[in-house]
Amino acid sequence: MQLRQPMQLKQIYGRHLTFLAFACLICLLCVLQMRKTANAESSSDARIKGQPVLRYDPLSQTLKPLENKKVTTGKIYSHFSPEHKRYVWAYALGDGKWSYPLGPGTTELPDHFDLVTPPALTRALLEQRAGEWLARSRQEGSPILARLAADDHWELLEFRSVRSHYDLDSGCRWEWHGEQRIGVLHPHGRRWKYIEGRYRPDF
């Protein structure tokens, strides 16, 4: 039986120590990365929780904060989106969840918003600001619509149109004709981009 020389044993022992040190370093880096990710997620969650949901006040034409417990499912609000890192408009789905974010050019019915003003005052303000168009739209049977501008504020649409959505996430568009929602397509697909006040095909 051949015995290993002391020098050989020292070399083998040294290689084992090097391997163990390298393995420990890898484990330490993994733990640090996991802690970094967890801290980032925790910080992101805290930031989101610190951002109030906002609703529109037609009287002052500003956005007012709303308690989360008072958010009404099926109504439109402005909420902070971690994906877009800013406030976006969307439908409340309940349990803190939101629909796809509404992009510029979207047109919506005023009744779909949870407004600060009570219904009677909202109607009076609408009569005041869209008097002539409101009377004409009633005669024509056209709905009163608000359109989301590129600077993220809503403006009264004073011509005939249809309710429509532009999804910021997917780039898809839909229009409502009666109760039917129909996707808006172009020859190359269904994705769109909004440039200088117009929708253009996104290839």
Confidence of residue 40 (pLDDT cuts 50, 70, 90): very low
Same domain, 106 and 134: yes
- Final residue in a domain of this structure, among 29, 50, 71: 50
Same domain, 33 and 107: no
* 116 against 35, higher pLDDT: 116
- Final residue in a domain of this structure, among 35, 50, 65: 50
Q: Which residue has the tokens 């619509």?
A: 145
pLDDT of residue 128: 84
Q: Where are the beta strands (DSSP E) in the chain?
A: 53-57, 62-66, 76-81, 86-94, 97-98, 107-108, 145-148, 154-157, 164-166, 173-177, 180-183, 192-195, 198-201
Question: What DSSP character marks residue 143?
Answer: P
Q: In what order do the strands lie in the sheet with 107-108?
A: 154-157, 145-148, 107-108, 164-166, 173-177, 180-183
Same domain, 73 and 28: no
Q: Which domain holds residue 40?
A: 1-50
Tokens linked to 186: 């172009």
Same domain, 86 and 181: yes
pLDDT of residue 124: 87
- Final residue in a domain of this structure, among 33, 50, 67: 50
> Percent of the chain having pLDDT more than 70?
75
Same domain, 92 and 9: no
pLDDT higher than threshold 80 for residue 167: yes
Helix axes 131-140, 119-129, angle to 10 degrees: 100
* 135 against 18, higher pLDDT: 135
- What are the tens digits of pLDDT across the range 174-188? 999 989 999 999 999
Decide: helix, strand or coil at residue 147.
strand
Residue 100 φ/ψ region, left for φ over 0, alpha for ψ in the -120 to 50 degree band, beta for the rest: beta
pLDDT of residue 188: 93
Same domain, 95 and 151: yes
Q: Name the domain count of the chain.
A: 2
Answer yes or no: are the C-beta atoms of 129 and 92 closer than 8 Å. Answer: no
pLDDT of residue 31: 41
> Percent of the chain having pLDDT more than 90?
53
Which residue type, as a one-letter code, is found at position 9?
A: L
Same domain, 178 and 114: yes
Q: Which residue has the tokens 């980032």?
A: 40
Cα–Cα distances (Å) from 77 to 55, 89, 102, 124, in that order, read: 5, 6, 10, 22
- pTM of the full predicted structure? 0.74
Question: What DSSP character marks residue 111?
Answer: G
- What are the tens digits of pLDDT across the range 120-129? 898 888 888 8
* 31 against 199, higher pLDDT: 199
Same domain, 57 and 36: no
Q: How far apart are CA 134 and CA 91, in angstroms?
A: 25
Confidence of residue 46 (pLDDT cuts 50, 70, 90): very low
Q: How far apart are CA 35 and CA 74, in angstroms?
A: 37
State the average pLDDT over residues 67-82.
92
Same domain, 150 and 88: yes
Same domain, 60 and 45: no
Same domain, 11 and 72: no
Same domain, 79 and 165: yes
